[in-house]
Amino acid sequence: MNALRGMVWLLVFQSAGELLARGLGWPLPGPVIGMVLLLLALRWPAVQKPVGECAAFLLSHLSLLFVPVGVGVMTHLSLVSQYGVRMLAVVLLSTWAGLGVTVLTLHLFRNRPPAPHGAQSPGQDADV
């Protein structure tokens, strides 16, 4: 029963995100806004426990979510054979680009000297 409550929470936050995105004209997709709202709400046990049980259930059946993708690939096999090499190149290049940016960002933050205690970080105004 808790897993069902968790599914309700997931749908509530997705719907709230959709309403905010469409109602306020935000450039982010509704499900992304809903996930941010869910992240904030996961601090409360009333949300955390049911969503955790629902997530465990969904993760245990995750392999079923790959069936539609496999069927789609099989039905469009001619497109895969026509553009497969290009798609593979794009996937590999974008993966390596993402990894490269992540590594450079990590090195940038890791090699930065720590700020002295009580010092302000850049962009903060002093209290006058």
Express each pLDDT in 6-25 by its tens digit.
999 999 999 999 999 999 98
Q: Taking residues 83-96, report their average pLDDT.
A: 94
pLDDT at 92: 96
Tens of pLDDT, residues 26-62: 888 999 999 999 999 999 999 999 999 999 999 998 8
- Other C-beta atoms lying within 10 Å of the C-beta of residue 3: 16
> How many whole angstroms separate alpha carbon 20 and alpha carbon 30?
7
